Amino acid sequence: MTNKIKISVVGAAGRMGSQIMDRALDSELFQLVGAIEANGSSHIGKDVSTIIGGDKTGIIITDNALEVVISSDAVIDFSSPLSTVSICELTAQARKVHVIGTTGFNAKQEEQILAAARHATIIKSGNMSLGVNALLGTVELLSNSLDNSWDIEISDAHHRDKVDSPSGTALDLAEAAALGRSVNLDSVKDISRNGNNLKRKKGDIGITSIRGGSIVGDHSVIFAGDGERIVVSHFAENRNVFVKGALKSAEWGIKKGPGLFSAKDVLGF
């Protein structure tokens, strides 16, 4: 393929960043053109091969995000909320595709991302797995089909080093359930039951988080009715599922104009 999609990776030294770079270097569809790390990182100035192994690539890890964004067709970003918002400003100015797998944004940061989407093509998901996004569509459909006499509980399990809780995926699942019921998530979200305060309110969407070991990502949604339950789940066995979803999202975004999308849009939900 002569005209490859030029991508750069933000958070290049992270678990996801390194795997995306490795996959892109072997791809017939993508060309890795840049790798970004935060100012002060010990990886700055080194070839990406020092992270992913193998021969030198000539691609040097940098903190000069503007230069890298300009040279890219799409930016894939698994970094931190502050870093992602900063990159959003650049992708908006340059009218680029920005795939965001970062989680843990506050309300103001979400507004900044939405503002950037007026000019950039932003595909943002708490989980880039195509399977998880199929689950999101399924949860929305189930929630729409069942009335609020069915209790909804979401279980969210990740490795011990994950810093945000609930995960972006758990919140996305809760949002899908709320959308199905045509209610505002903030009015029904329940993540604080503990001790003696366990009784749920009718219509609440509960979220429970587990952190431990090397769990890549397990998510289940329980629809509990009187005398019956429906359980839908997704289990990530390795991070390749997120890599494939992020790259698929970048490819899909090239064909779109500005706007804020999710990986559900990539699947056509």
Residues labelled as active-site residues: 158, 162
* C-alpha distance from residue 249 to each of 43, 99, 154, 157 (Å): 27, 7, 25, 24
In contact, 51 and 43? CB cutoff 8 Å: yes
> What is the spatial distance between Cα 217 and Cα 125, in angstroms, rounded to a whole number?
14
DSSP string, 25-73: HT-SSEEEEEEE--TT-TTTTSBTHHHH-SS--S-BEES-HHHHHHT-S
In contact, 76 and 244? CB cutoff 8 Å: no
In contact, 9 and 17? CB cutoff 8 Å: yes
CA-based end-to-end distance of the chain: 29
